[in-house]
Amino acid sequence: MSRLTIDDVYEHVRGVCFKTGPPGLVGVETEWFVVDRNAPSRRVPLARVRAMMEAAGPPPAGSRITYEPGGQLELSSPPRRGPAAAYAAIARDVAHVGEHLAKERLALDGRGTDGRPTAFQATEGRYRCMREYFGEQGLRMMCGTASLQVCLDIGADDKEAARRWRLAHALGPVLVAAFANSPGPAARSSRQIVWETLDPGRTAPVTGDDPVEAWAGYALDAQLMLIRDGWVAAPGMTFRDWMATGRPDVGDLAYHLSTLFPPVRPQGWLELRMIDALPEPYWPVPVAVATALLDDPIAADIAAEAAEPARDRWRQAARDALTDPVLGRAARRCFEAAREALPRLGADTLVPMVDAYARRFIDRGRCPADERQADDPAERPDPAMTEACRAVPGAPAATAAEEEPTWT
């Protein structure tokens, strides 16, 4: 085994994490709490959910089902070409899961945090090490939070990758605020605050406009969460320190990168991790908005200007959401740009649901957390939103060349 060098780290980050290519693919990861309608205050045993999903068979559009330590169910879609196809595919799989859970009075619950008692239900070595590394404070993050993640391409070349990297970070607080759905003490997105403050060396935003330099430095200086050989948790050194021992290889580097959780994470695509989980019918909206603002050149320019004043307002976004005037102005302009961009991306069918969300929340300076705090739960959906979602047709038939697009 050859010794891993700093140059090797940068080569891996440049060639794998920031692999360039023409934008266009969209992936979605939806995390859900599972609730028992007969006993909503109790945690549903993970073994019960697993058994039901195995009996249900694979989701029809090909999403992968995984589970978080608290029993959260995650659906990860294959990448699709454009936001309309991505939404139609993951919506089929969410419906598939929901229909089978309903047979036993279980339901998917979309919210950023869970108020039920914490229950650590994972047995995998990775999750046991995470629990030891983070301590009891980390249990709330691992078992009691859920997000919606939008995955978009890096960019056609290094220049575009740098532009998209900067724009994703500028938009981050705006997306936190617009979709905040985890009210807590003095917060609209308590999920974002839990993640941001847990271990800033691996969960705070990455800083720096040069994406390769920024991500490589972040990774090198982050504490090791674990060493897989023997599942050693919290070794007490950074990855840079571990390299000085001559022990890690490129596989260890790749695994270490998977244990870093900033709000924008490069994995050969940009993974936007800052959005609270949302219920039906709201969860498709951040997919449409984020994709439009990054993938449409006109909207991207508008969003870059609108979001720049809000780029560092992560804490204000989590605490105040759109009542913060800077974030409120940015969100309104970004939603306008997204609505105008979606038809140019072949996703005009998504415009009505974005319009309905904007009328209910953005234009009024509100977010879903405000309804929950006012005891006006988001389970009482806007009829216009529901109708807009039902009106979206299924994904277009894939051509042979597009049947299995991939980022790898």
Fold of 6-390: Creatine Kinase; Chain A, domain 2 (3.30.590)
Dihedral over alpha carbons 309, 148, 61, 380 (to 10 degrees): -110
Q: Which two tokens stand for residue 94?
A: 């969410």
Reported as a single tens digit per residue, the pLDDT across 86-143 is 999 999 999 999 999 999 999 999 999 998 998 999 889 999 999 999 988 899 999 9
Sequence spans of domains, the chain: 6-390
CA distance 17 to 217: 13
The residue to which tokens 């790898």 are assigned: 408
Helical pair 284-295 and 325-341, crossing angle rounded to 10 deg: 80
Centre a 10 Å sphere on the Cβ of residue 126 and count the other Cβ atoms it contains.
17
Interval 221-248 mean pLDDT: 94
Give the mean model confidence (pLDDT) for residues 168-190: 97
With contact defined as beta carbons under 8 Å apart, do 278 and 179 qualify? yes
Count CB-CB contacts under 10 A for residue 36: 17
76 sits in which H/E element: strand 73-76
pLDDT tens, position by position, 47-61: 999 999 999 999 999
* DSSP symbol at 155: B
Residues in Cβ contact with 8 at an 8 Å cutoff, skipping those fewer than 6 apart: 250, 253
Q: How confident is the model at residue 246 (pLDDT cuts 50, 70, 90)?
A: confident
Contact indicator for 329, 174 with CB cutoff of 8 Å: no
Provide the pLDDT for residue 7. Answer: 97
In the three-class reduction of DSSP (H, G, I as helix; E, B as strand; rest coil), residue 66 is classed as: strand
| Core vs surface per residue 357-396: b (16+ CB within 10 A) or e | bbebbbeebbbbbbbbeeeeebeebbebbeebbeebeebe
